[in-house]
Structure 1
Amino acid sequence: MPHDWNRFLQTSTQRLAALVDESDPAAPVPGCPDWCAADLVEHIGGVYQWATHVVRTGDPEAAVAPAPTDLGELPGWFRTHADELVRVLVGTDPDQETWTFGRGRGTAGWWTRRQTHETTLHTFDLLDSQGRSEEWDVPAPLAWDAVREVVTLFYPRQLRMGRIDPLPGTLLLTATDLDAEPVAVGEGRPVVEVNAPASELVLLAYRRRTSADPAAAELFARGLTP
């Protein structure tokens, strides 16, 4: 069954905007060691502006408005750009052609999916910065789609851009909470099986968690994602 990406995007951005309202902007972000929560929020707001511009114009070059220096204004600034992203993506034909960083030319619907996953992962980061990571709750099908995005988009892109070498092994990822075929990252040997709930596989792939299996941990640490 196809995902309702518009609904996922609306729900995830609303959840994150509400979390920004109640978060300590000075709290450090464990998953992004050089950032505090305010830096994370500025990053996401900038990405939202960029994605909105790309969908509107097809041009990947965009000047984004920086976050306000008054941190009391940060939640309102963030919500404005989140709402605008949703308004533009929901109001655009998902088949409309535009630039995408995965394959040069793609569709507006690509951006709805990508920004849903961007928002979902960074919601974990913001919760984690506040000591509330246990509140991160992602539907298994949505989490599994994010894992598949890593396999089909980000890992090949990391290789293509020369950011990493090919994995010296293969990660065989299986979601234990879904009836879905496993996916493989890499083509080397040995094959290292990782069986976990889909949401845990997302955190492993994005290096927000470390696998208890040393062989898997070493492969994940190579950097499947930026």
Structure 2
Amino acid sequence: MDAGGYLDELQLQGRLLRSSAHQCPLSAAVPSCPGWTVARLLGHVTRVHRWAVSILRGGRPDAFQFSPPEDEAELFDAYDAGLAQLLDQLLATPDRAAIWTITPAASAKLFWARRLAHETAIHRVDAQLAAGFGVQGFEPAFAVDGIEELLTGSGAARFDRSRLPGERSISLTPLDSNASWTLLVGPQLLSCRPQAVDDADLSVFGLASDLYCWAWNRAGTEEVSLRGDLALADLWRQDFRVNARAQSA
């Protein structure tokens, strides 16, 4: 996807997140983020959007400060303003701007457009799970990109591998795409290779949208098919840190 495609997704997912959050009390629990309420979810996404704007404007990532308002109307207004600022700033950012990124990237603009599109998309799922009216699926191409962004970026490092007895392999295969991956994990190992292998310790299959949500711990095992060492799937579900960073999903 190009930056324009990510911006379209960011706008869409941001709108869906807002409408879903509006369908339930701000005090409602978010089942996919234990201990969170919808208010905390909305405040978190608002903070992430504004944090990214600060970085895109040349700010230091560790120097940003923002406290979401507690009043419901003000919180939604702050969310709307933050999303609008982010979209405008991404549009205005040159492709080759020298801006800090979480991981090395050829284009900071593309990196942040991609990162924020998927950040917002995953939290849109959280809002819909909290509202309880069902989760809207993702387009396969966007979901495949999201799985790849998770596995090849910094996301896989969220998996606490300390309890693994040794090196293990996890393959993920979206059934509606030609893409697949094998994640190699161990107490001292973390790498991702393109293409699934037949002898992976755990193989996970599903439609791209379901697999995307499963990888982010937003879908259960009933929404995908598992083959191999099911204890690995349990470890992923238990030890994948949803909130490893203050400004990340």
TM-score norm. by structure 1 comes to 0.86
3-state DSSP of counterpart to 2:25 = coil
Deviation at 1:60, TM superposition (A): 1.1
- Deviation digits for residues 79-121 of structure 1, max 9, x if unmatched? 0111111110122123322111123885122001000000000
Who is 1:113 aligned against? 114
Instruction: Assess if the C-alpha contact under 8 Å between 1:17 and 1:82 holds in 2.
Output: no
Amino acid in structure 2 at the alignment position of 1:152: T
Instruction: Assess if the C-alpha contact under 8 Å between 1:98 and 1:107 holds in 2.
Output: yes
Amino acid in structure 2 at the alignment position of 1:122: H
Aligned pair count reads 221
Alignment of 1:22-171 (within 5 A): 22-103=23-104, 107-132=108-133, 134-155=134-155, 157-158=157-158, 163-165=160-162, 168-171=167-170
Could you tell me the percent identity over the aligned residues? Answer: 25
- Deviation digits for residues 24-79 of structure 1, max 9, x if unmatched? 21110001111110001001101111111011115212333312121232211110
Instruction: Assess if the C-alpha contact under 8 Å between 1:49 and 1:64 holds in 2.
Output: no
Runs of 4+ in 1 over 4 A off after TM superposition: 187-190
- Deviation digits for residues 133-160 of structure 1, max 9, x if unmatched? x23221111111111111101355447x
- Deviation digits for residues 135-188 of structure 1, max 9, x if unmatched? 3221111111111111101355447xxx5347742111110122x231011157
TM-score norm. by structure 2 comes to 0.79
Q: In structure 2, do the counterparts of structure 1 residues 76 and 99 end up closer, same or farther at CA, with 3 Å as the change threshold?
A: same
Who is 1:194 aligned against? 204
In structure 2, C-alpha distance between the alignment counterparts of 1:120 and 1:146, rounded to whole Å: 9
Q: In structure 2, do the counterparts of structure 1 residues 60 and 96 end up closer, same or farther at CA, with 3 Å as the change threshold?
A: same
Q: In structure 2, do the counterparts of structure 1 residues 105 and 89 end up closer, same or farther at CA, with 3 Å as the change threshold?
A: same
Q: In structure 2, do the counterparts of structure 1 residues 147 and 76 end up closer, same or farther at CA, with 3 Å as the change threshold?
A: same
Amino acid in structure 2 at the alignment position of 1:223: F
Alignment of 1:198-213 (within 5 A): 198-211=208-221, 213=226
3-state DSSP of counterpart to 1:82 = helix
Amino acid in structure 1 at the alignment position of 2:202: V
Q: What is the root-mean-square deviation in Å for CA atoms of aligned residues?
A: 2.5
Instruction: Assess if the C-alpha contact under 8 Å between 1:100 and 1:106 holds in 2.
Output: no
Deviation at 1:201, TM superposition (A): 1.3
Unaligned runs of 5+ in 2: 187-198, 245-249
Instruction: Assess if the C-alpha contact under 8 Å between 2:54 and 2:64 holds in 1.
Output: no
3-state DSSP of counterpart to 2:182 = strand
Deviation at 1:219, TM superposition (A): 4.5
Answer with 96-105 or 111-120: which moved more: 96-105
Q: In structure 2, do the counterparts of structure 1 residues 216 and 140 end up closer, same or farther at CA, with 3 Å as the change threshold?
A: farther
Who is 2:195 aligned against? none
Instruction: Assess if the C-alpha contact under 8 Å between 1:170 and 1:190 holds in 2.
Output: yes
Instruction: Assess if the C-alpha contact under 8 Å between 1:204 and 1:220 holds in 2.
Output: no
Deviation at 1:216, TM superposition (A): 4.5
In structure 2, C-alpha distance between the alignment counterparts of 1:30 and 1:156, rounded to whole Å: 21
Amino acid in structure 2 at the alignment position of 1:182: S
Who is 1:217 aligned against? 233
In structure 2, C-alpha distance between the alignment counterparts of 1:71 and 1:12, rounded to whole Å: 20
Instruction: Assess if the C-alpha contact under 8 Å between 1:205 and 1:224 holds in 2.
Output: no
